[in-house]
Amino acid sequence: MTALLEVEDLRVAYGKIEAVKGISFSVEAGQVVTLIGTNGAGKTTTLRTLSGLLKPTSGKILFEGKPLTGVPAHKIVALGLAHSPEGRHIFPRLTIFENLQLGAFLRNDKEGIAKDIQKAYDLFPILGERRNQAAGTLSGGEQQMLAMGRALMSQPKLLMLDEPSMGLSPIMMQKIMATIAELKSQGTTILLVEQNAQAALSLADQGHVMEVGNIVLSGTGQDLLHDESVRKAYLGED
Amino acid sequence: MNTLPQQLANGLLLGSMYGLIAIGYTMVYGIVQLINFAHGEIFMTGAFGAFTVYFYILPDGTSMAVAVPLMLIGGGLVAILIAVGAERFAYRPLRGAPRLAPLITAIGLSLALQEVVRNFYPGADRAIAFPGLDTTHDIGSITIKDADIFLILSAIVCMAALAYFVRKSRTGRAMQATAQDPDTAQLMGIDTNRIIVIAFAIGGFFAAVAAVAYGLKYGNIDYRMGFLMGLKAFTAAVLGGIGNIYGAMLGGLVLGIAETLASAYIDEIPGMQQLGGQSWANVWAFCLLILVLLVRPQGLLGERVADRA
């Protein structure tokens, strides 16, 4: 069986500076895979390339066996790959309801969309309470919920979450991580980029540690969680 | 001051014209952060497109009730074609380039369009007589022409249609999303290039509507008509808050009324006798712009640009 997503020797550069230097990994359907690493490791660049916002200099991206390289970003969503970007990037002057609707921009089934918006409200009750409020007025954690809910609205086969816990209070971070665990238990396939390595690895089936554009270590979430070098570098233990 | 109602009406009419043109500046800026300085010339080509339909295509003696809609279509098509062509071939290749590059391109395009019309359109080296709609009506102490009625009605219809389109249609929603965050809009599956083309096309069409109104009202058009009108409409867009479509219309109206009232009455202020009359109108218009930039740089309806997280 082929993986849902296969990345082979992917290289991405900003001008002359190479940010991703030939990485390979795969995501099987139903798995949660995480990329961890410090700032500037190339995690966000990798996700932005997968969703078509950046063009790779070389390498292969196969989604359900079909190449994604060269496909424009707006068509990649249609194939079933949703991306909740770093920094949330909700549409601040549209309402929460309108943001969720935009997540379903390519869908035509009105009833299905209404049902999924209700699902998002069930998953994040605060969004339902504030559905007609401008999204820019939400707190950081609430905006993160909206960004995740919006990404789910396209009924993705693969959900990519970029730093969902960034800048959140510890309580809010726990809530977001619990939601990711819930999505996992529902069978959602997730590619998770996180700086909070502890939380990400505890959830993940597979993990990859990135350092300055390379994957330096791979393993199951549990293996990495107990790996000495990972504990030292990313979990704050001496 | 029994001339006041008439002057207010004049200002409102002029302002509607500014507002219609200003929509093109503000929509394009709102989505790609580009000041399309060739927009005044798009307005001008719309006028020539409409004149071509009237003079070269329609048979002599066609009633104006039939001619005006066809002129709108002809002028609109020409303006849309030029606006969309400018986006595709002049601005799109420069997307992501330093800000100065598209700005210089816009100025170059504006000169090029003027010169092409002057050199290649028959008789365009001087003003061309445009059919007028000169029948007048008295409403109380105000006198207006048929052309004025056409102008005010088309401004209302265009603005209402645009507001409905942006707020209610799927494409309009996509347009708002693209304006607020173009990368994320693509992640929703929105083809942002298509949205940009639509913004240029709407701006072009509105400019053509204003151009037809201009011709009908003033009775002549020329290859330079877009320069000052474009500059004033740009002023209106900034005045109202660039990027905001309601701001563009409001800015147009405020500018039109301020300019008209200033040229009519400023010479009644002691010591300002020298400064009255139409020849000073532009000075007052641009003084207003400077004042707004000093006091409220984001414009009347503009929002402060907040940094994105």
Q: Is the pLDDT of residue B235 over 90?
A: yes
Dist. CA A15–CA A8, nearest whole Å? 21
Q: Do B184 and A74 touch (CB under 8 A)?
A: no
pLDDT tens-digit readout, B114-133: 999 999 999 999 999 999 99
Mean pLDDT of A39-66: 95
Residue B152 tokens read as 């005010």
Dist. CA B289–CA B247, nearest whole Å? 14
Q: Do B308 and A89 touch (CB under 8 A)?
A: yes
Most B CBs within 10 Å, among A49, A91, A139, to test the B interface: A91
Of B174, B186, B188, the CB nearest to A103: B188
Q: Which residues of B touch A75 (CB under 8 A)?
A: 189
A184: left (phi over 0), alpha (psi -120 to 50) or beta: alpha
Q: Do B191 and A91 touch (CB under 8 A)?
A: no
Q: Is the pLDDT of residue B298 over 50?
A: yes
User: Is B301's Cβ below 8 Å from some Cβ in A?
Assistant: no
User: Is B167's Cβ below 8 Å from some Cβ in A?
Assistant: no
Q: Nearest to residue A120, comparing CAs of B136, B148, B92, A135?
A: A135
Question: With a cut of 0.85, is the ipTM above it?
Answer: yes
Mean pLDDT of A39-59: 95
Q: pTM for the full model?
A: 0.92
Of A77, A87, A88, the CB nearest to B188: A77
User: Is B176's Cβ below 8 Å from some Cβ in A?
Assistant: yes
Of A52, A85, A98, the CB nearest to B184: A85
Domain layout of chain B by residue ranges: 4-295
Question: Is the distance from CB of B160 to CB of B174 less than 8 angstroms?
Answer: no
In chain A the domains, ranked by start, together with CATH numbers, are 5-235 (3.40.50.300)
Using the structure block, give the residue that is written with the tokens 């606006």. Answer: B83
pLDDT at B278: 83
pLDDT at B307: 38
Q: Is the pLDDT of residue B308 over 60?
A: no
**Quick count: other Cβ atoms within 10 Å of Cβ A69?**
15
- Which residue would you say has higher pLDDT here, B272 or A56? A56
pLDDT band of residue B73 (cuts 50, 70, 90) is very high
Of B174, B183, B191, the CB nearest to A53: B183
Dist. CA B165–CA B146, nearest whole Å? 28
The architecture in CATH of the region B4-295 reads: Orthogonal Bundle (1.10)
- Give the minimum alpha-carbon distance from A227 to chain B in angstroms, rounded to a whole number: 34
Residue B294 amino acid letter:
L
User: Is A106's Cβ below 8 Å from some Cβ in B?
Assistant: yes
With helix as H, strand as E and coil as C, how does chain A read?
CCCCEEEEEEEEEECCEEEEEEEEEEECCCCEEEEECCCCCCHHHHHHHHCCCCCCCEEEEEECCEECCCCCHHHHHHHCEEEECCCCCCCCCCEHHHHHHHHCCCCCCHHHHHHHHHHHHHHCHHHHHCCCCEHHHCCHHHHHHHHHHHHHCCCCCEEEEECCCCCCCHHHHHHHHHHHHHHHHCCCCEEEEECCHHHHHHHCCEEEEEECCEEEEEEEHHHHHHCHHHHHHHCCCC
Residue A16 amino acid letter:
K
Q: What is the largest CA-CA distance in chain A?
A: 54
Dist. CA B184–CA B130, nearest whole Å? 47
Q: Is the pLDDT of residue B306 over 90?
A: no
pLDDT at A110: 93
pLDDT band of residue B253 (cuts 50, 70, 90) is very high
Q: Do A101 and B173 touch (CB under 8 A)?
A: yes
- Give the minimum alpha-carbon distance from B192 to chain A in angstroms, rounded to a whole number: 8
Chain pair A-B, CB pairs under 8 angstroms: 66
pLDDT at B29: 95
Dump strand ranges (E) for A17-56. 17-27, 32-36
Dist. CA B175–CA B195, nearest whole Å? 6
User: Is A114's Cβ below 8 Å from some Cβ in B?
Assistant: no
User: Is B175's Cβ below 8 Å from some Cβ in A?
Assistant: no
Dist. CA B138–CA A41, nearest whole Å? 74
